[in-house]
Amino acid sequence: MTDSPGPWLILPLGFIVALAAGIVRGFAGFGFSALSVAGLSLFVPPATVIPALLLLEVVASIGLIRTALPDLDRDWWRSLLLGNIVFIPLGIAALAMLSEARLRFLVGGVLLVGALLLKAMSGRKLAPTPVLKMLAGVLSGVLNGLTASGGVVAAMLMSAARVSPAALRGTMVIFLLFSGCYALIWAGLLSQAAATPLLGVDTLRWALLLSPGMFAGIWIGHRQFSRAHPSSYRSFVLNLLILVSALGLIRSLMDLATQ
């Protein structure tokens, strides 16, 4: 891509984005991929980094699984997992077919709308019905395959249903472990069957590049989880996601205008 930064800028930019997203992941149990995609898509094609982010989500969840299991909400987890099993393949297929500019637009738009909705629902409560849980599973499945950002919509609906911060965090950690593995399997199958470059050497390169920032951020965020006020931190995360998503959306509109 001609407007991507040179290699000397990729490393520090990737580290900064992964560090900020890792802090959010360590604290809240979700948000790493959403923030990373939103930040990195400002200067690299989203499809380039999404498989690597799925891989890192799996690695991050393995590191947090011991502290997350006691707080797992099994009803929510089962609903999310079922929706992802069915709908992740559709999202992965769309990821392989969409153009870079359109994918940027979709990523920025989806993340921005999701963050704004979550912010708007901060004072409201939704009943945790089977329909709501099924909706969370379907939407998160499509977005996990398409943008590696399904955790955002799942957390949005769980938060609106007043799931406790500890249960939300624990459920997201375990859920992202399984959904990330599943999405990577489908990405690998599609890469072999359709000769698409979704999964390959570049996936490992991006994972290695982003992992130091992610691990440092998770360590910081995990230490802050027991002492910070959940509502104030959630507000900070949402404001950050809104800002980065808006920038990504503006970038995509500029790309589409020049095509």
Position 98, amino acid: L
Residues in the chain: 259
Position 136, amino acid: A
Res. 238: pLDDT tops 80: no
Q: How confident is the model at residue 196 (pLDDT cuts 50, 70, 90)?
A: low
Distance of CA 188 to the CA centre of its chain: 19
Res. 195: pLDDT tops 60: no
Could you tell me the pTM of the whole model? 0.73
Q: What are the structure tokens assigned to 103, written together?
A: 């994918």
> ∠21-22-27 over CA atoms, to 5°?
105
Q: What is the pLDDT of residue 194?
A: 58
How far is it, in rounded angstroms, from Cα 181 to Cα 167?
Answer: 22
Sequence-ordered alpha helix ranges (H) in the chain: 7-28, 32-40, 46-68, 74-97, 100-120, 130-147, 150-160, 165-194, 201-225, 230-257
Mean pLDDT of the chain: 80
pLDDT tens digits, one per residue of 129-176: 999 999 999 988 888 777 777 777 788 788 778 888 888 888 988 988
Return the domain boundaries, the chain.
7-257
Q: Which of 251, 256, 253, 259 is nearest to 43 (CA)?
A: 251
Q: Which of 76, 244, 47 is nearest to 176 (CA)?
A: 76
